[in-house]
Amino acid sequence: MPTYSAPLRDMRFVLKDVFKIDELWASLPGLEGAVDMETADAILEEAGKISAEVIAPLNREADEEGSHWHDGQVTAPAGFKQAYETFSEGGWVGLGGNPEFGGMGMPKTLVAQVDEMVQSASISFGLAPMLSAGACLSINVHGSNELKEAFLPNMYAGTWAGAMDLTEPHACTDLGIIRTKAEPLGDGSFAITGTKIFITWGEHDMAENIIHLVLAKLPDAPAGPKGISLFLVPKLAVNEDGSLGENNGVSCGSIEKKMGIKASATCVMNFDEARGWLVCAENQGLACMFTMMNYERLGVGVQGLGAAETSYQNARDYARERLQSRSANGAVAPDKAADPIIVHADVRRMLMTMRAYNEGGRAFSTYVASWLDITKFSTDRETIQKAEAMVALLTPIAKAFMSDKALEATVLGQQVFGGHGFVREWGQEQLVRDVRITQIYEGTNGIQAMDLMGRKVVQNKGAMVDVLVAEINDFIQANADSEGAQIYLKPLSAAIELLQETTQVVVSQAAEDADAVGAAAMDYLHLSGYVVYAYMWAKMALCSQGLMAEDEDFHGAKIGTAQFFFQRLLPQTEALAKNIASGSDATMALKAEQF
């Protein structure tokens, strides 16, 4: 039976020591006085308890049971409804929500840590509050005061849940060709008709009502993405006094039978002249939805990190206990039949790789969240513009690189268990299955790579990359004289130079070859991911060097893991750069009929 313990020590290190996050919070007008490290510590402690003690124990059996569909109704696995009520009563759904409507107003840098703990405990469960929080964000940013007052308090409280309904059977990623229609009813509301697929927790019994954010097209809408509008559509009608009425023409046609996240309901949702309201201006639905999706894409990366952390913890514990063969340097446990497998170099390789990706990912997700906090709470226009550019550049890396490395980490965790990793009761195969979806939804990782390469890099000839590079170079220069710094700063500087050179290679290729962006995209995203992780690891290693006297075990392990990352993982950037430089010819060489 897998277990989970919240990595609070590491989260505090990242927040307090590496990013000095309390200084950022104090500098942002919208956060000043609202949160400090003492408050954050209390929140982290409680989130760790509810994740480890309430949610995590449900995960294994919930996967076996799955969600149940019957006659349009969905019932969550045993224990989920009670856990969701407990979670909601603690105010966790509204942790980052607008205090004017019942949210707690906490920064994303803190919320990201809580999100990781919940996702570590159970991705299937964690998807429900994650989607509710994202729906609330879109309503809060784009909705009218009337919509906010009518829906946000109950959504923040967890009494009502949220879901986002984007794609359709024929559309998938190409949302411009959706067919769901919205007909004006003459009173400011609209009749929404259509079918949506892959709607996570689109129907369930954990909340009294479910508020759907639905993409649809008005009768006179322009063709393509520019003709999409966003509508708020409750499952049950909401009366003027706030009480719930009859079903609002919203039904669940079926739920999918999936590879993983089996405990969550992935629904086919039907809207039959369901009454809805515009969330933002007509034909601006996709832009409004992206407010939610940028947060959700970071959230998906954090989901992957959460599963990988649970995999690491269990693989580490297993490696300490499992006896098999003797150490290459002689018996470590001569009184036993064999040594624990953690003595073997190959097992160490797997655990160190997992640890390097997980701890690097935790720092990176916090870094991206800090830019989101700046965009939300700063009042300085120039600062906000830089933060928005950084969020645009880093979000596809956060979603795709973090989830790719999470799958790699969970597979390694399964491998540490050997044959037992293939057996369901140990939980490692579930983590592999569950984390696999993070590479697919919220825009597949290939789509994320194309977005990064095409829109965020080639389109502006690398200008956004230059902003990131300038920040990292400032860090390198500021720490150049620190004792022992060059073992991190020298390879980081080389990686930055390689990223700049490769960026210009693709920009030049794209000017002459329409397939250059697509051929380079995934390799470029991974190259970028390794570079930003190197930046995170250099920051953490230098921080730990200065704090060794406080906790030699913790900071010594941090420094050792940093060295592993720079020596064994970062060199992969050189192969990625060579792949990119080769162009698209080999990728596009075969005719379609030759496949």
What does the DSSP assignment read for 125-161?
A: HHHHHHHHHHHHHHHHHHS-HHHHHHHHHHHHTTSEE
Q: What is the mean pLDDT of residues 409-438?
A: 97
Per-residue model confidence as pLDDT tens digits over 351-400: 999 999 999 999 999 999 999 999 999 999 999 999 999 999 999 999 99
Identify the pLDDT of residue 34: 86
* DSSP string computed for 439-462: GTSSS-HHHHHHIIIIIIIITTTT
Q: Please, which residues have CB within 8 angstroms of residue 572's CB and are 6 or more apart in sequence?
A: 526, 530
| Domain ranges within the chain, ordered by starting residue | 445-587
Is 400 in a helix, a strand, or coil? helix
Average pLDDT (238-246) is 95
pLDDT digits (tens, 9 = 90+) for 258-309: 999 999 999 999 999 999 999 998 988 888 877 777 778 999 999 999 999 9
Residue 33, pLDDT score: 81
Task: Give the single-character DSSP code of 236.
Answer: E
Question: What pLDDT does residue 437 have?
Answer: 98
Instruction: Place 583 in a pLDDT band, splitting at 50, 70 and 90.
Output: very high
Q: Predicted confidence band at 176 (pLDDT cuts at 50, 70, 90)?
A: low
The bridge status of strand 68-70 relative to strand 160-165 is unpaired
Quick one: average pLDDT of 147-165? 97
Token output for 364: 């990176």
Active-site positions?
442
Q: 213: which residues sit within 8 A by CB, 6+ positions away?
A: 135, 138, 139, 162, 163, 164, 165, 230, 231, 232, 233, 279, 289, 292
pLDDT value at 493 more than 90:
yes
List, for residues 179-198, the tens digit of each pLDDT value. Answer: 999 999 999 999 999 999 99
Q: Position of tokens 């969701």?
A: 84
Task: Say what the pLDDT of residue 291 is.
Answer: 75
Residue with tokens 């020596």: 567
